[in-house]
Amino acid sequence: MKTVLATGGLILNEPLLWEKGKRGRRGMDVPASDVPAAKIDPEFMGVGPDFPDLSEVDIVRHYTRLSQWNFGVDTGMYPLGSCTMKYNPKINDKIAATPEIAASHPMLPDRLCQGTLKIMYELQGYLATITGLDAVSLQPAAGAHGELTGMLIFSAYHKGRGAARTKILIPDTAHGTNPASAALCGLHPVPVQSGPDGILDPEVIARLMDQETAGIMVTNPNTLGLFEENIKEVSRIVHAGGGLVYGDGANMNAIMGVADLKKCGLDIVHLNLHKTFSTPHGGGGPGAGPVCVVDHLKKYLPVPRVVKDDKGYRLEYNRPDSVGRVHAFHGNFGILIRAYSYIRCMGAENLKKASQLAVLNANYIKEKLKGDLHLPYDRPCMHECVFSDQKQHEFKVSTLDMAKRLMDFGYHPPTIYFPLVVSGAIMIEPTETESKDDLDLFIEAFKEIVREARENPEILHEAPHLCKVKRLDETAAARHPCLTG
């Protein structure tokens, strides 16, 4: 290897804030009161909360040290499959922090927030154009929330036709949240086995589709990173049976400007703005999962809708068929702004190019590593490729061992043990962020790990060696969780 990315470094220990500080330390001075003192109702008096007394430098060092334990996309490559951990351009944060936008109160009347309403209206339009669908709600807070909104629309649609349906088809290559979202709406998930080539077989769908089935939830590209080539035929069969087709658009990063989802037969699609449209995510931060629908389902979208007429932009509540509100105020507006900024900065041509490069990068890794790692579905992939640890079984080295060892080389591990259809799955999604030089370094690191698996498996069993925290006992953490500080 030419360069090894990871090296050792001085990492400092840091206790919890509650374990730091000393009585009387302060990080700020409260100015003297310039209003007359008023009595507080004794009902509201009591013992104050147990906050630690800390100086400013105590706190700055605390968070600086914690940040040095972290690994983000700004640190290095983060090929966490299915999560689209692409770089988040800083201009998006800058735009979102603009006072005119950031300080706009969500309860302002429409006439005083025409700018923010315009941004939402235009973002809806962009997302409709990108998916090919007709109408959009920006409210859902993230992917699974979008799915839930979509399933509420499924239910409302079937009830509107006077025939509630009880089942929903979920392929084994769908995202794991799909069956849960459907079950929350009272739909019983029926698992669908993908075909031997890793995609849906229309004959299987035809066998399962019946008058009790509300429709299907398809993740496309699916969790094997493969495009559902039979999607039009699958949609035709489901529609012929009176059902609707839901598309989990979490993998949209592979097909922006390339696939028209309406022409694929999809009726509802959710997008993950925090993935495809490059807003910061991971660590449980806010996301946004807008839902796009075809024209005849528009009336079911959550209220309020952002509409435009000759007087300007306004929020409209009077939609009697709507499934109702699914989020307070305007959804996760800070995320919407970042996605809007990303789309405007990129433009149509570059969004398409981002998808093309994301797909090219994944295929490059697939081709370069398929001699070292078992590749269960050897065919062109989309934005991610899925390997397994089958070739390492004889050395008693598992997917987990290799993932942990990657950290010693300076990489965030890929997604492991998902999708479930591949035993010991290693799911790599490089995104368009990485240059060929960086991909080559990653590939060389993985090849080195495969060599180690053969020649020195012990080093993998005990990995990671360079990280602040070594191999964690995940079993003990799950069996005996410690839920207090």
Footprint of other proteins (CB under 8 A): 393-394, 396, 398, 417-418, 420, 423-424, 474-475, 478-479
65 HSE (CA, 13 A, CB side): 15
Nearer to other proteins by Cβ, of 88 and 388: the residue is 388
Nearer to other proteins by Cβ, of 288 and 402: the residue is 402
In angstroms, give the least distance from the CB of 479 to other proteins: 5
* Cα of 50 vs its chain's centroid, Å: 36
Nearer to other proteins by Cβ, of 252 and 453: the residue is 453
What distance in Å separates the CA atoms of residue 137 and residue 303, rounded to the nearest whole number?
8
In angstroms, give the least distance from the CB of 170 to other proteins: 14
Of 205, 216, 208, 150, nearest in space to 181 by CA: 150
Nearer to other proteins by Cβ, of 379 and 393: the residue is 393
Nearer to other proteins by Cβ, of 67 and 475: the residue is 475
What distance in Å separates the CA atoms of residue 25 and residue 35, rounded to the nearest whole number?
26
301-327 burial code (b ≥16 CB/10 A, e <16): bbbbbbeeeeeebbbeeebeebbeebb
Nearer to other proteins by Cβ, of 23 and 480: the residue is 480
In angstroms, give the least distance from the CB of 150 to other proteins: 23
Nearer to other proteins by Cβ, of 343 and 463: the residue is 463
Nearer to other proteins by Cβ, of 64 and 423: the residue is 423
In angstroms, give the least distance from the CB of 267 to other proteins: 29
Nearer to other proteins by Cβ, of 81 and 265: the residue is 81
Give Cβ neighbours of residue 206 (< 8 Å, ≥ 6 apart): 237
Most distant CA pair in the chain: distance in Å? 79
Residue 36: how many CB atoms within 10 A of its CB?
A: 5
Nearer to other proteins by Cβ, of 355 and 399: the residue is 399
Nearer to other proteins by Cβ, of 13 and 475: the residue is 475
